[in-house]
Amino acid sequence: MNIYIDNRQEKFDISEEINKHVKTAIIESLKVEGLKDNYEVSVSYVDNYEIKKLNREYRGIDRETDVLSFPFNEVVDIPVLILGDIIISVEKAYEQSIDYGHSLDREIVYLTVHSMFHLMGYDHLKDEEKEIMRNKEKRVMKNLKVFKSSS
């Protein structure tokens, strides 16, 4: 398992504990999906300015968001399968952690889990797809035990 973490923001301290929880969440998401750990995932922490720029460029939406997922949809002949990139606005995650009444750590972990299921092909545009995706997210969060279940 190759997990790369890049902190490109300076507004919030990202502890090794948070990075450890993010890595555990990635591995648990793969387990819940029945996949092995022969994948590569990158996680980048950014601020609202950068995620807004990326959201505008790649989705045509000119506002910040909490997380963006960029699945790697190419087949390449390498021993590790590249799953994709997760971009998290730590600034937005902090705002949401206040709104939802839990820690920044828990919010970043939830956003990682949410994004992992996007990388694995799930979406939440239709109600039935949303229910499947949310149930998988809840299962991962429950399996992590450290965090209360997401809603």
Residues annotated within a binding site for Zn(2+): 114, 118, 124
Cα separation, 74 vs 66, in Å, equals 26
What would the two tokens of residue 119 be?
A: 């990388």
User: From the annotation, which residues make up the binding site?
Assistant: 114, 118, 124
Cβ-based neighbours of 61, under 8 Å, separated by 6 or more: 55
Say if CB 82 and CB 40 are below 8 A apart. Answer: yes
Cα separation, 110 vs 142, in Å, equals 11
